[in-house]
Amino acid sequence: MMSLTIGKLAAAADVKVPTIRFYEQIGLLPEPVRTVSDRRAYDPAAVRRLAFIKHARQLGFPIEAIRTLLDLADHPERSCEDANSLAQEQLTTVETKIAQLEALRSELRRMVAAGCQGIAGDCRVIETLADHGLCGRDHSVPGRLSS
Amino acid sequence: MMSLTIGKLAAAADVKVPTIRFYEQIGLLPEPVRTVSDRRAYDPAAVRRLAFIKHARQLGFPIEAIRTLLDLADHPERSCEDANSLAQEQLTTVETKIAQLEALRSELRRMVAAGCQGIAGDCRVIETLADHGLCGRDHSVPGRLSS
DNA sequence: CCTGCATCCTCTAGTCGCTAGAGGATCAAG
DNA sequence: CTTGATCCTCTAGCGACTAGAGGATGCAGG
């Protein structure tokens, strides 16, 4: 019965302690056994599950998608259709976001390049913000990438 | 005394009505005059101010930065140093984020390309998520772009 | 054995930038 | 005069945590 404290688990998966409690609360991680003094005692498998979650989060998958993905990982006999489509969806999301950010980047570059040293009244940054007509109109902020 | 209702203002700046009330609440927009029946009555200048805010938000500037930027726009005699550095900062943020997303994109592409038709047990998507060692280790999700 | 500090526990509230909805008043067109 | 759109305030919710209060426990050194 080699079990881990929440702190050890956190260190092992490089995740913060409160995050683990949070994942438990929302049902991504199962409730672990408790010691007599009510501390969480994890078995080593928890490290892999948590690492899975962490990796998926790093890739930007939303929690709900991760729930599905974990479920699939827990039931290897099911069809992996969902996993494929979630990955495809996430790829599309990321690609869209990159495109939008590239548009922002180019306008910001123009603003910064035109940067001024004087007073706000003559500032190109302020001016650009004040008049959208001054710039390529095709940017808009990406929706959040689930993070 | 050509004044606008909140709805007209919203339409004019292409922003939602509750968003305007929200901006007022946090002090980005000044409290407008009220009619006898307690409705907000905006003067046309409000459209420009709101458009300024909208544009800055589209570029990903956080509210606090916009506060500074608006302040500068209101006081054209001040130095625009802050505007320049905020823009530079924002550019850096966006560039960092693009780089991170590009790393995500390439891993997601690999996952999707290896996509499987079978059961979850053999699924490369699941497998990749389970074992971070299988992929280039250099991605991590961008912090939010104040979006 | 004792001290002291690290770690653990639960709970609540805060982050960011809105968005949604309840419950009600008012306006404008037909 | 009625109907439906718009307005008002207020509260709560989103996602994915993060921070902090206030207290209990565990562990290592002296």
Give the CA-to-C1' distance from A24 to C10 in angstroms. Answer: 14
> Which pLDDT score, from 0 to 100, does residue A121 have?
78
Q: Does domain A6-58 have CATH number 1.10.1660.10?
A: yes
The distance (Å) linking the CA of B38 with the C1' of C25 is 10
Give the pLDDT of residue A137. 52
Q: pLDDT-derived band of residue B133, with 50, 70 and 90 as boundaries? A: low
* pLDDT tens sequence across B84-121: 999 999 999 999 999 999 989 998 998 888 877 778 78
What pLDDT, on a 0 to 100 scale, did the predictor assign at position B144?
Answer: 54
**Confidence at B127, pLDDT banded by 50, 70, 90:** confident
Predicted confidence at residue A31, as pLDDT, reads: 96
Contact B55 A108 (CB under 8 A): no
Nucleotide with C1' nearest the B38 CA: D8
Residues of chain A in contact with residue B89, where contact means CB-CB under 8 angstroms, are: none
> Averaged over B38-54, what is the pLDDT?
96
The burial of A34, by beta-carbon neighbours within 10 Å (0-12 exposed, 13-18 middle, 19 or more buried), is given as exposed
pLDDT of residue A132: 66
Which residue of chain B comes nearest to A145, CA vs CA? B144
Q: Closest to B60 (Cβ–Cβ): which among A83, A132, A141?
A: A141
Q: Give the pLDDT confidence of A36-95 residue by residue, as tens digits.
A: 999 999 999 999 999 999 999 999 999 999 999 999 999 989 988 889 999 999 999 999
Residue-averaged pLDDT of chain B: 88
* Residue A40, strand partner residues: A34
pLDDT over 50 at A30, yes or no = yes
Longest dimension (CA), chain B: 71
Residue A14 binned pLDDT confidence (cut-offs 50, 70, 90): very high
- The domain limits of chain A are 6-58, 83-134
CA distance B80 to B35: 37
Q: How many C-beta atoms surround the C-beta of residue B23 within 10 A? A: 20
A141/B59 CB distance under 8 A = yes
CA A24 – CA A18 distance, rounded (Å): 10
The first and second tokens of residue B128, run together, are 């990749």
Which of B97, B98, B109 faces A91 most closely, judged by CB atoms? B109
Q: Is the predicted pLDDT of residue A107 greater than 80, yes or no?
A: yes
Mean pLDDT of chain A: 87
What span, in angstroms and rounded, lies between the C-alpha atoms of A17 and A33? Answer: 16
Q: What's the confidence (pLDDT) of residue B147?
A: 41
Mean pLDDT, residues A128-134 taken together: 73
Q: Cβ of B104 and A60 within 8 Å?
A: yes
Q: Are the C-beta atoms of residues B31 and B24 closer than 8 Å to each other?
A: yes
The count of other CB atoms within 10 Å of the CB of residue A74 is 11
* Correct CATH for B6-74 of 1.10.1660.10, 3.50.50.60, 3.40.50.300, 3.40.50.1400: 1.10.1660.10
